[in-house]
A = this chain, B = another copy of it.
Amino acid sequence: MILPPKTLAYRTRLIEAIRDNHTAGASELARQALDGIQAYASELCGLSSDGTPPVEEMSAALLQMARDLQQQRPSMAPIQNLVQQWIVQFSRATPSSPKAVEVSARQISRQLSEQSLQALSQIASYALKLIGEGATIMTHSSSSSVFRCFELLSHKKVKAIVTESRPGREGHRLARALADLGISSHYITDAQMGLFIGQANLVLVGADTLLADGSLVNKSGTYLLALAARDHNIPFYTCCERLKYSPLLPESVELESKSATEIAPPVSPLITPHNIYFDVTPAELISGYITESGVSTTLPAPGAAGN
């Protein structure tokens, strides 16, 4: 069956929305990927009665889209993992009509998204136990897990140190969102991390991916913050759903780059600008991993990796 161009264009837009979003955290984008699959299922189902694809073709189209989504963000394990869970569960379903395909796709997506959000709340509840009244928390980039922690902490009169997180400037939005929660923050450029780390009681960052050796793939600059934290004896924690585990090691993980025009570099044949969005923080710099199982000084067993 050949799908109409409008439908194919819609699919492309859904996939590009995941590919080109360089400000949302990995776990948030993973949930958006599931939303995209749901939306595409509705689109396919809503084609006029003679144009609606048969059940098998509709299922195959959704599975293909899911696999395409998995390829979009190599530095973000949650997208691969959460969509993989969707693929496994959807492949087991036996819908008998296009409408039943749509319902199945939606139910699985919603359930997985809810589980992921529950994991965030569990992580935040464990993080809470680490953080005392009036503590100053330093963070880099913007993570939905870390933000959930701040939501639960707003009554504890915590303060934040927020880095700009150039070039995406996720810190700009985070500081505003914290202010909306009534949490005050110091807002600094990335280069000032070393000047402010000494004022923090702890560092709390999210995770785009956790590698098999316990190292952390996260927004560029995270490694520098971890070095500064170690040099000042400030504990460094990452909030990481088990969904973020990857079987890869640092030498084989792909760190995504975005167009260098975003950093407005000088232009010359002799100047090569770089805009790599992620760096790798080795396990030895990480004081603790906060997962839905609790706080651990070593990476909890990958066997439990959200499957």
Contacts and interface: CB of A to CB of B under 8 A. Distances in A.
B224 A191 contact: yes
Interface in A246-303: 255, 263, 265-266, 268-276, 279
Interface in A165-188: 165-167, 172-173, 175-176, 178-179, 182-188
Contact of A187 (B179, B255, B269, B272): B272
B179 A270 contact: yes
A189 interface: yes
Given A166-B166, A166-B189, A194 B224 contact: yes
Given A166-B189, A195-B276, A195-B279, A178 B270 contact: yes
A189 B220 CA distance: 9
> Quick one: copies of this chain in the complex?
2
19 contacts: A164-B263, A165-B191, A173-B266, A175-B271, A178-B270, A179-B268, A184-B271, A185-B272, A186-B273, A186-B274, A187-B263, A190-B191, A191-B220, A191-B279, A192-B221, A194-B221, A194-B223, A195-B274, A227-B228
Nearest to A140: B191
A253 B250 CA distance: 40
B266 A187 contact: yes
A114 interface: no
Interface in A199-243: 219-221, 223-224, 227-228, 231
A176 B266 contact: yes
A228 B220 contact: no
Contact of A266 (B175, B190, B272, B279): B175
A175 B268 contact: yes
Question: In which size bucket is the chain A interface?
Answer: 35 or more
B192 A276 contact: yes
Nearest to A191: B221
A173 B269 CA distance: 15
B182 A274 contact: no
A83 interface: no
A266 B188 CA distance: 11
A167 B266 CA distance: 15
A251 to B, nearest CB: 12
A196 interface: yes
Contacts of A82: none
Nearest to A183: B270
Contact of A195 (B255, B263, B272, B273): B255
